[in-house]
Amino acid sequence: MTPLLEVRGIDKSFGPVKVLHDVGFSAYAGQVTALVGDNGAGKSTLVKCIGGIYPIDSGQVLFDGEEVQVHSPRDAGELGIEIVYQDLALCDNLDIVQNMFLGRERKHGLLLDEDSMEELAEKTLSGLSVRTVKSIRQQVSSLSGGQRQTVAIAKAVLWNSKVVILDEPTAALGVAQTAQVLELVRRLADTGLAVVLISHNMNDVFAVSDRIAALYLGRMAAQVATADVTHAQVVELITSGRSGELGLKNGVTP
Amino acid sequence: MRAGPSQEDIRRHNLGALLRHVHLGGPISRAELTAKMGLNRSTIMALTSDLTAAGLVREELPRETGRAGRPSLVVRPESARVYVFAFDVGPDRLAVARVGLGGVILDRRETVRDRDRFDLDEVAGLLAGFARQMRRKTRADTVCVGAAAAVSGGVRKGDGVVRFGPNLKAEEVPFGEELGRRLGLGLPVSVGNDANLAALAEHSRGVGAAVRDLIYLHGDVGIGGGIIAGGHLLGGHEGYGGEVGHMVVNPGGRACGCGSHGCLEAEVGERALLESAGRVSSGRHGRDAVRTVVDAADRGDIVAQEGLSRVGDWLGLGVANLVNIFNPEMVIFGGILREIYLGSAAQVRSQLTLHAMAPQRERLRLRTSALGDSATLVGAAELAFAHVLADPLEVLARANA
């Protein structure tokens, strides 16, 4: 199977500090790929390179098997890559529909086409089986943490996106809301999207992922099927870059 | 020698098949039905008009299709008119729902059950009372076409007798017969095991729709299971099959309500979790108590974390055994197992990696229930609708008589 999104040999430095060394990473349609690694391993940098926020020093980005150039978030958006950052980037003083269409409002002549935006927002939320929000005209400031996460994810899905990258979506949530967000993450992939989940919580990773990619000090230690590894092995990959046959050899990607 | 099916048999079969499409798939145009059923247009038209005349479906013009040409009529189930009663008898709750054709829950009542004893008169009386209340509120043109109950225990296929139900404290209880008598609708009440029925529900309209081989695991006080193989529920010789909670995973382990030791249920059920998380003394039980443990583990309580991960290990071992034997495409966690799986997935899947064989586990999908607390009721409703789908016109004629 061709990965929907693949990067090969990515290098990235900030001045004298080399952050990513020869990193390869793939995400497949219909699957959740968990991206794990310690603080400072390079997860966020990798995601920002994919999202066009940081230019890469060298390496290739392939989308659906074809090499593409991603120089800006706009390029990424046009390919169908959406990223939901930890801070969610929602505006508290706007309602759910306004947030979902922020900066990409639909117009009817000179006026905003509120009806069609409302309808599409409603359809997207119900398509994700989201039943937790009462009204889509509610202000975002009145929503709980889990509901905000849901709105941010729905916003990412609205644009016919093909790859959705979620940065620690359950970090600030309680157990009940974490469960709902995890189920939403799983449903996104089951509807055919390629989902990338960044998480520190191993239960979250094992609960929904099909594949696990472990970064260690800026190198991709291993990309494995979740069905083939144990919790202990993944923890070893994260903390030492290797585990038995898996991982880096002499500190280098084999 | 058996004669081939008569024209009448074929018509009955087609009526049932068409109604099943509308019941499970929702509103659908005649054109789509023609394609899906592989029958010609005039046959579909004749079948839908028979079902419309019986009041089971109605046909409407679709909203804008955006395409040229005369739009095909959309066939909808008469959800508000044709309904069944679905009952759920669990260790902690008694619930009744009025479920319309198409699987819509129109109305429901629920009450907390006392765990200590099972009094047939009391339970059947209460459930029938709820059903009567709901029936009084219905319009005059509605019709009840069936009733079925999901019971936490082993149910004999032939007559709906609950043979054993250690978590209900029920034994040899003629539950279906008694509930049918008290309902007084002149309808038999079918009875099934709750986890079996929840499996059917997830298979027909939940997370496992279109999945032909799945295992549903249901957790409350005990662990129940439903195994769907090749699209059919495995009931076994007399209907007691699927009791995965009594698969022994730890010989000489914890005592189980069934009299044995080390059953999956004894190691993973609510009691095991609360005990190993040090929370028995709190006196709380049921779903809320389980949620408290998962919550405490999430907040960093070490005892709760250890308890949860221990339970996760046993659950993973149990699932690995099932996966090796049945090679399901999907395993679904329902009831309290939803919370337990999400809170201990690292353990569950590690055990699967260690003990399930590679060909069986590679493409396995692990999912949580989509129907949640309604799964057992939805499953009971499907059981109640089964005979309507088998012979729609006959059942409707009898119900209207």
Residue B338 forms contact with A (CB below 8 Å): yes
B190 and B217 belong to one structural domain: no
Record: contact B350-A230, CB cut-off 8 A: yes
ipTM of the complex, rounded to two decimals:
0.90
CA angle B247, B251, B256 (to 5 degrees): 60
Chain centroid to CA A227: how far? 21
In the prediction, which pLDDT does A216 show? 95
- For B346, the closest of A182, A206, A228 (CB atoms) is A206
Residue B370 forms contact with A (CB below 8 Å): yes
Q: Which residues from A are below 8 Å from B358, CB to CB?
A: 228
In the prediction, which pLDDT does A126 show? 81
- For B353, the closest of A176, A205, A227 (CB atoms) is A227
Q: Is the pLDDT of residue A111 over 90?
A: no
Beta strand pairing call for A66-68 and A58-63: antiparallel
List C-alpha distances in Å: B25 to A131, B210, B258.
20, 11, 40
Residue A206 forms contact with B (CB below 8 Å): yes
In the prediction, which pLDDT does B186 show? 87
B341 and B297 belong to one structural domain: yes
CA angle A75, A50, A73 (to 5 degrees): 30
CA angle A163, A164, A170 (to 5 degrees): 155
Record: contact B345-A207, CB cut-off 8 A: yes
Strand ranges inside B37-92, DSSP E: 57-60, 74-77, 82-89
B100 and B128 belong to one structural domain: yes
B16 and B95 belong to one structural domain: no
**What is the number of structural domains in chain B?**
3
B51 inside domain: yes
- Find all residues with CB under 8 Å of A145, minimum gap 6, and list them: A172, A173, A174, A177
B158 and B248 belong to one structural domain: no
Q: B220 is in which domain, residue-wise? A: 210-370
- Looking at B43, B77, B111, which one is the last position of a domain? B77
Region A39-56: mean pLDDT is: 93
B177 and B306 belong to one structural domain: no
CA distance B351 to chain A (A): 8
B121 and B137 belong to one structural domain: yes
B156 inside domain: yes
In chain A, CATH 3.40.50.300 sits at 1-80+161-254
B149 and B242 belong to one structural domain: no
Chain centroid to CA A6: how far? 14
In the prediction, which pLDDT does B1 show? 59
CA distance B347 to chain A (A): 7
- Looking at B24, B57, B77, which one is the last position of a domain? B77
A127-153 pLDDT, tens digit each: 777 777 778 888 888 888 888 888 888
In the prediction, which pLDDT does A253 show? 67
Q: What CATH number is given to the structural domain containing B16?
A: 1.10.10.10
A161-192 pLDDT, tens digit each: 999 999 999 887 888 889 989 999 999 999 99
Q: Is the pLDDT of residue A219 over 80?
A: yes
Q: Of A185, A163, A254, A182, which is closest to residue A216 (Cα–Cα)?
A: A254
- For A206, the closest of B298, B349, B364 (CB atoms) is B349
Q: Which residues from A are below 8 Å from B346, CB to CB?
A: 202-203, 205-206, 231
In the prediction, which pLDDT does B338 show? 94
Q: Could you say which residues of chain B have pLDDT below 70?
A: 1-2, 64-67, 281-283
Q: Residues 86 to 125 of A: which have CB under 8 A from any B CB? A: none
B305 and B354 belong to one structural domain: yes
Record: contact B338-A179, CB cut-off 8 A: yes
B31 and B135 belong to one structural domain: no
Q: Read out DSSP for B87-123?
A: EEE-SSEEEEEEEETTTEEEEEEEEE--TT---HHHH
B232 and B358 belong to one structural domain: yes
B218 and B342 belong to one structural domain: yes
The structure's pTM equals: 0.91
Residue A1 forms contact with B (CB below 8 Å): no
Strand ranges inside B202-278, DSSP E: 214-219, 223-229, 232-233
Cβ-based burial of A32 (10 A; exposed 0-12, middle 13-18, buried ≥19): buried
A65-103 pLDDT, tens digit each: 999 999 999 999 999 999 998 877 788 888 888 888 888
B181 inside domain: yes
CA distance A189 to chain B (A): 12
- For A186, the closest of B349, B350, B367 (CB atoms) is B367
CA distance A13 to chain B (A): 34
B354 inside domain: yes
B203 inside domain: no
CA distance B344 to chain A (A): 6
Chain centroid to CA B246: how far? 19
- Looking at B58, B77, B96, which one is the last position of a domain? B77
Q: Tell me the torsion sign for CA atoms B335, B337, B339, B342.
A: negative
Region A22-44: mean pLDDT is: 95
B205 inside domain: no
In the prediction, which pLDDT does B189 show? 93
Q: Is the pLDDT of residue A35 over 90?
A: yes
* A-B contacts at Cβ under 8 angstroms: 59
B1 inside domain: no
**Fold for the domain defined by A1-80+161-254:** Rossmann fold (3.40.50)
